[in-house]
C-alpha cells in the first residue's frame, strides 16, 4: 500500500511541480507586488491597498470589465446553442456527418491573431463592398462603432469556438442509449419531448463543461480583441485582458496592472465556480 502511494505521488509530482512554477508561485508574487509600487525591477515603497482603491475608481478599467462581462454572457449563450445545434446535426444518420464535423471544427485550429485579421478584412472590406452593392450603409464601417464592434467580436468567437464545443456535446450524445430513444418513440413522444426529457438531462454534464470553457474563454480573450478592433473606437471595445496588458506594458504601471489582474482573477473564479456548483446541483436533481 505504501509503495503504491509513493508511486502515485512520484507519478504526479512533475505535474504538481510544473503547476506550482507556472501558476501558484507567480500568483503569490503577483499578489505581493500588487501592494507595492513595483516597476518591474525594484520596489521603493509599500502602498498597501492604494492600487486597489485606485482601480475601483478607474473608469477605463471598469468600462472594460463591463464590456467583457456583456461579451462573456452573450458568447456563453450563443456558443452553447450553436455547439449543441451542430452536434445534433452531425450525429444524425447522414453520409457527410464526418465531413461536417471536420468543417465545423477547423476554425478552432486557426490562431487568434490570424483569425482576427481575417475577420477584420471581412468586416471592413467585404461588408463595405456588399453594403455598397446592395445599398445598405449599415454594413460600412462595421468596426467603427461600439455596438457593431461588439457583435463583430461575438461573431468571431462563435465562428472559432462553436466547433470545439460541438465535439464535447457529440461525446455525450453518442453515449445516450438507443433503447431509451426507441422506447420514447413507441410511447408517442415527439422530437421536442424526446430532447427535453431524454437528451438534455443525459447531456447535462456536457453543458456544465461547455459553460465553464466558454465562460473562461469569454473573459480571458485577448489576441482576437487585439487583432480585430485593438480596443477601438476610443477603448470602447477594449476587454479586460487588453486593458491590463496596456496598463503594464504601455503605461509601465506593473504593480497597478497586477492589482487589476488579481481583482479580475477573483471575479472570474467566483463566477466560474458558482456556475459549476449550480450546474452540478442541477445534474443531481435531474
Q: CB 37: neighbour CB atoms within 10 A?
A: 17
- 5 in any annotated domain: no
Report pLDDT for 144.
Answer: 86
Whether 14 is covered by a domain: the verdict is no
With respect to residue 212, please indicate whether it lies within any of the assigned structural domains: yes
Structural domain count, the chain: 1
| CA count, 13 A, side-chain hemisphere, 94 | 12
pLDDT tens digits, residue range 70-79? 999 999 999 9
DSSP state of 92: S
Q: Which helix (H) or strand (E) holds 267?
A: helix 254-285
Residue 22 covered by a domain:
no
The rounded distance, in Å, linking the Cα atoms of 42 and 82 is 49
Domain containing 278 — which CATH number? 1.10.3720.10
Residue 2 pLDDT > 60: no
Q: Looking at the DSSP assignment, which residues form a beta bridge with residue 184?
A: none
**194 has pLDDT over 60:** yes
Q: What is the pLDDT of residue 240?
A: 94
**Domain-embedded: residue 176:** yes
Query: C-alpha grid cell for residue 141?
Result: 464601417
Distance CA 264, CA 241 (A): 9
36 lies in a domain? no
Q: 230: alpha, beta or left, given left = phi > 0 and alpha = psi -120 to 50?
A: left
Q: How far apart are the first and last CA of the chain?
A: 38
Number of Cβ atoms within 10 Å of the Cβ of 137: 9
How much is the average pLDDT of 76-96?
89
In which domain, by residue range, is 205 found?
55-285
The three-state secondary structure class of 36 is strand
| Contact call for residues 219 and 270 (beta carbons, < 8 A) | no
Nearest to 245 by CA among 219, 266, 226: 226
Q: Is 223 helix (H, G, I), strand (E, B) or coil?
A: helix
What's the mean pLDDT in 52-76? 93
* pLDDT at position 264 over 80: yes
Buried b / exposed e across 152-175, counting CB within 10 Å, b at 16+?
bbbbbbbbbbbbbbbbbbbebbee
Instruction: Examine residue 106 and state whether it is found in any structural domain, yes or no.
Output: yes
In a domain, 259, yes or no: yes
Amino acid at each position: 500500500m505504501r509503495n503504491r502511494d509513493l508511486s502515485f505521488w512520484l507519478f504526479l509530482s512533475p505535474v504538481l511541480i510544473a503547476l506550482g512554477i507556472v501558476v501558484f508561485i507567480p500568483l503569490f508574487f503577483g499578489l505581493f507586488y500588487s501592494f507595492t509600487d513595483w516597476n518591474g525591477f525594484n520596489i521603493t515603497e509599500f502602498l498597501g491597498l492604494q492600487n486597489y482603491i485606485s482601480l475601483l475608481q478607474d473608469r477605463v478599467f471598469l468600462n472594460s470589465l463591463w464590456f467583457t462581462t456583456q461579451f462573456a454572457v452573450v458568447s456563453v449563450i450563443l456558443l452553447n446553442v450553436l455547439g449543441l445545434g451542430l452536434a445534433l446535426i452531425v450525429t444524425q444518420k447522414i453520409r457527410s456527418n464526418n465531413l461536417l464535423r471536420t468543417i465545423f471544427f477547423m476554425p478552432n485550429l486557426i490562431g487568434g491573431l490570424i483569425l482576427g485579421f481575417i475577420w477584420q478584412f471581412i468586416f471592413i472590406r467585404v461588408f463595405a463592398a456588399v453594403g455598397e452593392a446592395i445599398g445598405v450603409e449599415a454594413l460600412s464601417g462595421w468596426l467603427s462603432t461600439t455596438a457593431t464592434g461588439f457583435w463583430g467580436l461575438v461573431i468571431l468567437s462563435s465562428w472559432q469556438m462553436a466547433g470545439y464545443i460541438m465535439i464535447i456535446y457529440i461525446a455525450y450524445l453518442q453515449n445516450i442509449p438507443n433503447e431509451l430513444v426507441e422506447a420514447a418513440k413507441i410511447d408517442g413522444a415527439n422530437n421536442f419531448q424526446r430532447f427535453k426529457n431524454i437528451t438534455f438531462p443525459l447531456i447535462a454534464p456536457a453543458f456544465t463543461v461547455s459553460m465553464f470553457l466558454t465562460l473562461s474563454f469569454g473573459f480571458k480573450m485577448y489576441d482576437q480583441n487585439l487583432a480585430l478592433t485593438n480596443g477601438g473606437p476610443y477603448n470602447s471595445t477594449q476587454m479586460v485582458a487588453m486593458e491590463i496588458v496596456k496598463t503594464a506594458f504601455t503605461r509601465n504601471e506593473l504593480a497597478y496592472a497586477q492589482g487589476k489582474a488579481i481583482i479580475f482573477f477573483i471575479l472570474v473564479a467566483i463566477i466560474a465556480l458558482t456556475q459549476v456548483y449550480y450546474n452540478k446541483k442541477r445534474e443531481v436533481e435531474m
